[in-house]
Amino acid sequence: MREATIDVGAIAANVARLRRLTGVEVIAVVKADGYGHGAVRSAVAALEGGATRLGVADVGEALALRRAGIEAPIMAWLHAPGEKFEEAVALGIELGISSYDQLLAAAAAGGERAAVVHLKVETGLGRNGLPPAEQHRVFAEAARLERIGRLRVVGIFSHLSNTSEADDRAALARFHEALVAAAARGLAPRLRHLAASHAAIALPEARFDAVRIGIAMYGLSPFADRTSADLGLRPAMTLRAAVAAVRRVPAGQGVSYGYQHRTSAETTLALVPLGYADGVPRGASGGGAVRIGGLVFPVAGRIAMDQFVVDVGDHPVAVGDPVTLFGDPERGLPAVEEWADSAGTINYEIVTRIGPRVPRRQVST
């Protein structure tokens, strides 16, 4: 009735492309269930495409990957207050460290194997990361813990706001200052990483030793004015359903809650069994469009929890016909960005929120 196909061949090819473009290591970001594509399959595909490391937000996500048999290095950078890292360290999960307390907790969690950490510095985003005033104390303690074998500092990193090139360059300058301060305390981490997809592509000076690639590995563009095809990327997710009901109605028929749409002439309404519970944004009511049998039809009226209606006019649409909401525009399918624009959001949010009721089917092309 509904499915999202995930093209793991596209994910591997996108990673390989970004690897070649940037010329540095790729940390594949598979948080939030691989941006809705499935964390494990996305991780496997990214590693096949040449990624050397995986990135997730929290330790729970990292442990799930490890337990699923992923042996590659995995880093996690967003932690609960007072979080203990014993299990993470025992399973070789690398920790992003944003505070002195987290540094001490990571060192304390080391048993037979020392914790491996990436020190995160604040360069302007205003989220986590060590502010400049904290950096000296944390760098000095990290260097001391490393000397006595309690900790290994493998990375130093930050994250950009993508506000403007000038803002990202200012953050880059702050990152350089942090690198100098870290070196002065005796730290020489092998992996300096700052860029996510946007800067990895647009700001070569931000590439350093590794780039953390999320949205682009799923084949979607981080830019408002450049498409996937412009970047040589292939969208990996295609969202489809089968028409669940078809009804011939007269002019003046109200459609869906609130009758936001009324038919202007006799027409055919087709029911699509996907709704906001599945991540199809209610905000795209009246704006999104789907493809049925080679033609594109707009959503008629409000998107409901489980379903929405399209007005297909006099076209011969039948129950069971495939309906595509989005996929690869190079294959003639609507772009996910059309849904994002209609809903006033970004491609990241659309794919990440496709819900658990939509089965994922893995393909490789």
325 binds ligand PLP (CB under 6 A): no
For residue 69, the minimal CB distance to ligand PLP (Å) is 24
> Looking at 215, 243, 274, 335, which residue binds ligand PLP (CB under 6 A)?
215
For residue 27, the minimal CB distance to ligand PLP (Å) is 8
Beta-sheet strand order (sheet of 245-249): 245-249, 267-272, 308-313, 295-300, 289-292, 322-326, 237-242, 2-7, 360-363
For residue 201, the minimal CB distance to ligand PLP (Å) is 9
The question of whether 348 is a catalytic residue gets the answer no
The SS3 call for residue 115 is strand
Rounded Cα–Cα distance for residues 297 and 244 (Å): 16
By C-alpha distance, which of 38, 46, 59, 56 is closest to 18?
A: 46
Q: Which stretch binds ligand PLP (CB under 6 A): 109-117, 191-199, 241-249, 257-265?
A: 191-199
- CB-based contact 227:216 (threshold 8 Å): no
For residue 361, the minimal CB distance to ligand PLP (Å) is 23
222 binds ligand PLP (CB under 6 A): yes
In whole angstroms, how far apart are CA 201 and each of 133, 237, 330? 31, 21, 21
Which residue of the set 84, 100, 257, 259 is catalytic?
A: 257
Site size toward ligand PLP (CB under 6 A) is 12
The question of whether 259 is a catalytic residue gets the answer no
66 binds ligand PLP (CB under 6 A): no
For residue 151, the minimal CB distance to ligand PLP (Å) is 21
121 binds ligand PLP (CB under 6 A): no
Per-residue b or e along 286-307, where b marks 16 or more CB atoms closer than 10 Å to that residue's CB: bbbbbbbeeeebebbbbbbebb
- CB-based contact 321:242 (threshold 8 Å): yes
214 binds ligand PLP (CB under 6 A): yes
In whole angstroms, how far apart are CA 148 and each of 22, 37, 142, 324? 36, 42, 10, 58
212 binds ligand PLP (CB under 6 A): yes
213 binds ligand PLP (CB under 6 A): yes
Other Cβ atoms less than 10 A from the Cβ of 165: the count is 12
Q: Which stretch binds ligand PLP (CB under 6 A): 172-180, 201-209, 215-223, 274-282?
A: 215-223
Residues 192-211 close enough to bind ligand PLP by CB under 6 A? 196-198
| Complex with ligand PLP: residue 162 or 268, whichever CB lies closer | 162
> Looking at 13, 18, 26, 29, which residue binds ligand PLP (CB under 6 A)?
29
Residue 269 tokens read as 């309404």
- CB-based contact 11:218 (threshold 8 Å): yes
Sign of the Cα pseudo-torsion (121, 207, 33, 223, in order): positive
| Complex with ligand PLP: residue 215 or 323, whichever CB lies closer | 215
159 binds ligand PLP (CB under 6 A): yes
Question: CA torsion, points 200, 226, 340, 354, in degrees to nearest 10?
Answer: -50
| Interaction site with ligand PLP (CB under 6 A) | 29, 77, 159, 196-198, 212-216, 222
Residues marked as catalytic = 31, 257
